[in-house]
Structure 1
Amino acid sequence: MIEAAMIWNEPNNKSHWDLEIDPDWARYGECVRLAGSAIAAVNPGLPRVLGGMSPIDPFWLRQVEAHGALDHVEVVAVHGFPLDWNLWPIHAWPDKIAEIEAVTDKPVWVTEVGVGSFGAEEVQVFGLNRTAELLIDRVPRIFWYSLFDLPQSWGATTRHREAEGSSYYRHFYMGLIREDGSPKPALEDYARVASRMGLMQWFHFEDHRLDEAVRWMRSLGVRQLRTGLSWADYFRPGALDWFDRQMEALAEFDVTVTFCFTPEHLGMVPHHTSAPADPTAFADFCAEMIDRYAPARPALPRAMGA
């Protein structure tokens, strides 16, 4: 059910990790060490992925490595949105991958890449096809963000101001399917590469789109999916029932599950981007989720005389 476990989402992006609390990522490094060890104790064969960095930054990776984090993961991940938020051209993708490969011997996955349709849907078509040309066969895993547009009423997770390049409105146009359920032109192009370029889709707590997403992914021929299980949601009434329903619905796909979002009452400050006051609590959550959805398989008994 779970192909890999990712430890946080975009930890070098202040929209997902409070840099004022943890300016040198020492606390994040501790979270990775503890969570990585806890996951391995439950399922030592499950690949552990460092939270996808955004922006792509080899200097940040070296800083996290200095805190011992890379000793507890097998994969390094990057996120990129060159036609929406990043200050580099889409054609630079191979160079951005090479920058990270130059400072680590671990495989590099692109666990979030996307192009929005805000300016023109034709731009998304171009961006999807160019991304596929540049990254398929270049990296082991690619996850396109996303299948669905973010509903306008939900709000996007960001702590960036417009002056810092937020372009907040773009968050609502990253899907291949509009909020009303109609497909955008890029969906047809995505279908041609769906078996080689997976999808990244967040599912909110009790998300009404879950079953529809499964139907679309099945029809498109998607094999790999990246999604998340929220530590903050774990404390809602009925959380495990929702987690079970979500993971059961996604069982036919190879899922990279992302563990992130601090419960307000367990943060150093009461916000989901806060470093945990006790990183062991986060590690315990990760271990419980792996034990529930991806426990190590017992060895098959050997035949007599083998």
Structure 2
Amino acid sequence: MLRRIESAEPTKTDASTETGTTAIEKRGGDTSRPKLAWITDPHFDHAKLETWRLWADELIAYSPDALVVTGDLSEGDDVAYQLRCMADTFDRPIYFVLGNHDFYGKSINETRRQIIDLTREVEHLHYLTDSAPISIADDAVLLGDDGWGDATVGDYANTTVRLHDFELINDFRDSPSETWQATLQREGRDSGDRLSIKLQSLPTTIKHALIATHVPPFRESCWYEGRTTDENWAPFFVCGGVGAALRKAAQANPHRMYTVLCGHTHHDGDAEILPNLIVHTGYSRYGTLDIESIIELTDDGFHVPRTFASST
């Protein structure tokens, strides 16, 4: 079963962390370790209804015990709508973080407040940025945070990249461009701080930690067409704040394996940052819906085979 660990510190969003316990039985009453379906960057607003239905049927056929979504579900108010559709369709917990597209049309705080309110209302929805670590087994947990391309890696001063974020997220659109770097850095720092609190709360009995985030936390895990990012794109495609929190935790706890799931780049790859810290970056393509992996937990840790089941 999966349940929330009570000892975690509150997170630093604009609302308090969820309290209490949650528990689910494995599908069919099996008491062995559960399996998790990983989805990243689905961009539901680009998919046709028939594509969504085929994807849902494929996903249900795998019989996962829970879903893990690493951001960019949709845009604007459609994010909440799509989360409700998922909760109605998949009768199991849905653990998710938000990506940059999910904040389009609103401010960052307004979006998070709306989604937090939604998770209080809909039982199956769990926003990991606002949640304490979730126990998957006696020695394994799931936790996460949104992350942000935080302008701490790469050459922000000379980049030629201008994201749609700056036009479509109120925090940037309503502020002069001279303030954008500070906003990016603040979001990355806050994500790293929230994640650090959760990582530090884990008891020594935890041997395996599965971390969900949207933005790759290291340059080595920021994949595009088989290569990692350059100085021009790195400021917006790497979250140095989350990377620093993960590296610190992994170095301080060599007995624990840290497995990270992320997306954002729409290109897949795996990066071993430390012997006990590996990052899996997921694939996505607009208009298709994919099942990135059916993750299983064994005594050796989380296994993340690539599924690439796509509904076109």
TM-score (norm 1): 0.45
Larger radius of gyration: 1
TM-score (norm 2): 0.44
More strand by share: 2
